[in-house]
Amino acid sequence: MKQMLGLNGEQVPHSVSSVFGGVGMVRGEYLCRHAKAWVTTERWRTWVDCYLRPLALQFEGRPVWYRLVDMESNEVSTFDGCTEKIIEKTTMLGTRGVRRGLQLNGELDCELSAIAEISRDHDNLHLLLPFVSAPREVAQVVETARSLGFRNRIGSMAETPAAVLLLDELAAAGAQEIFLGLNDLTSLTLGCARDMPMHRKSHPAVTRLVREAVTRAHEVAIPLHAAGYLSLADLEMLAGCGIESTVIHFSHLPMLWPSKYADLEGMLNFTAIKNSIRDKVNDPRIRT
């Protein structure tokens, strides 16, 4: 099975970058968190430029997929530069991913134009669309990205059951590669949070959707990858379903292969990052 890295702003040692087939996902929301700035600001633009250009050079000849920011509305509202504070009861199922970008075109244009500018110097920097549920969403973002000068490949996440069932239509709308997002796909299929015991990627309903994605991808001849917080058992399950390419998060390497990556440098403190997010979201001075 082919493997690419999933990154959240980490600096990747050569010992790791040399053995992976590229970067399957740079999660844009984490670059916002590191920069402490929203996509409309010059601070964010500078931080992203300084991170993505060296990364594209490090993986020259191999793909680097930047995923547009996929952040829940309550956190977005805490950033300077946020153009509209959206109040929602269920933020995980709300205005996030491409939904926010298409609702607030100014923010989407800021993010896409920055990535398009970098991509002009790096033909291996590609674009990934998060939390898609309809082909028209892909078509609209593709049209906007192309109009802003982005000429490299554009892919779509399939992390909602709707996206999996409409995979062939996503391809027709302009998606050139598909990335299954197993974290959200499992939650949305089983109706449970990630920290619940029943959140199992090996659940028959989830594996059936994975096989459906493999079948539809083969029918339209589009590359298909699987991403998420994957265990060795998950990797075995995905291989059994016909998945040939996966995205492994850099932070999970020591857990998956401790003998090889036990002393891996460049790890992030995700507990501190998540605690900081909770503090900001719960601070009424910031939320209002």
Give the residue-averaged pLDDT of 259-271: 88
Region label for 271, one of left (φ > 0), alpha (ψ between -120 and 50) or beta (otherwise): alpha
- Owning domain of residue 259: 2-144+228-287
What's the rounded mean pLDDT across residues 263-279?
84
> Does any domain span residue 30?
yes
- Within a domain: 187: no
- What six digits make up the tokens of 266? 């460049």
* Rounded alpha-carbon distances, angstroms, from residue 133 to 9, 166, 169, 199: 27, 8, 11, 21
The reply to whether 234 falls in a domain is yes
Residue 63 belongs to some domain of the structure:
yes
The number of folded domains in the chain is 1
- Whichever domain contains 100, its CATH number is 3.20.20.60
Determine the pLDDT at residue 167: 98
What proportion of the chain, given as a percentage, has pLDDT over 90? 90
Asked, for residue 157, whether it belongs to a domain, the answer is no
Domain contains 164: no
- Give the model's pLDDT for residue 285: 61
pLDDT > 60? residue 286: no
Model confidence at 178, pLDDT cuts 50, 70, 90, reads: very high
Query: Is 202 domain-assigned?
Result: no
The answer to whether residue 62 is domain-embedded is yes
- Extract the tokens encoding 235: 């990797």
